[in-house]
Chains A and B, each alone.
Chain A
Amino acid sequence: MTRHVVAAVRDLPPGGRKLFSVRGRPIAVFNLEGQFYGLLNRCPHQGGSLCEGLLTGLVLADTPGEYRMERAGEIIRCPWHGWEFDIRTGQSWCEPDKIAVRQFPVQATSGQALVQGPYVAETIAVSVEEHYIVVEI
Chain B
Amino acid sequence: MSEVLDRQTTKLRIIDSDIHPSLASERDLDPFLSTRWRKHIAEYGKLSHRPLAGRGTYPRFSPNTARRDAWPANGNAPGSDLDFMRRQLLDRYDIEVGILEPLLDCNLVRNPGLAAALCSAINDWQVAAFTSQERRLRASILIPFEDPAAAVVEIDRRAGDRNFAQIQLTSRSLAPIGQRRYWPIFEAAARHGLPIGMHIGGESGHAPSPGGWPSFYAEDHHVLVHSMQTQLTSMILEGVFEHFPTLKMICIEGGFAWAPNLAWRLDRHWQKMRSEVPDLTMPPSAYMRRNVWFSTQPMEEPERPEELRRTLEWIGWDRLVFASDYPHWDFDDPEHAFPCRLSEAERRAIFRGNAEGIYRL
Contacts and interface: CB of A to CB of B under 8 A. Distances in A.
Contacts of B330: 80-81
B67 A79 contact: yes
Interface stretch (A42-50, A86-94, A123-131): A42-50
A136 interface: no
A105 to B, nearest CB: 26
B62 A82 contact: yes
B272 interface: no
Given A80-B331, A81-B329, A82-B61, A46 B68 contact: no
Contacts of B69: 48-49, 52, 79-80
A45 B67 CA distance: 14
B33 to A, nearest CB: 34
B329 A53 contact: no
B61 A46 contact: no
Interface string B44-74: 0000000000000000011000011100000
Given A81-B330, A82-B329, A47 B68 contact: no
Interface size range of chain A in the complex = 10 to 19
Contacts of A48: 67, 69, 333
B67 A46 contact: no
Interface size range of chain B in the complex = 10 to 19
Residue with the greatest number of chain A CB neighbours at <10 A, chosen from B61, B332, B333:
B333
Interface string A81-108: 1100000000000000000000000000
A82 B246 CA distance: 40
Interface in A43-81: 45-49, 52-54, 79-81
Interface in B301-338: 329-333, 335-337
A42 to B, nearest CB: 9
A43 to B, nearest CB: 9
Contacts of A45: 336
Nearest to A54: B68
Nearest to A49: B69
Residue with the greatest number of chain A CB neighbours at <10 A, chosen from B68, B332, B333:
B68
Interface in B67-106: 67-69
A3 B329 CA distance: 36
Nearest to A47: B336
A79 B333 CA distance: 13
A100 B120 CA distance: 48
Interface in A14-68: 45-49, 52-54
Nearest to A52: B69
B333 A46 contact: yes
A46 B336 contact: yes
A45 B240 CA distance: 40
A99 B333 CA distance: 19
Contacts of B336: 45-47
B339 to A, nearest CB: 9
B329 A80 contact: yes
A136 B230 CA distance: 55
Interface of B: 61-62, 67-69, 329-333, 335-337
14 contacts: A46-B333, A46-B337, A47-B333, A47-B336, A48-B67, A49-B69, A52-B68, A54-B68, A79-B62, A79-B329, A80-B68, A80-B330, A81-B331, A82-B61
Given A48-B69, A80-B68, A82-B62, 5 more contacts: A47-B336, A54-B62, A54-B68, A79-B62, A80-B329
8 nearest interchain CB pairs?
A79-B68, A52-B69, A46-B336, A46-B333, A79-B69, A47-B336, A80-B67, A79-B67
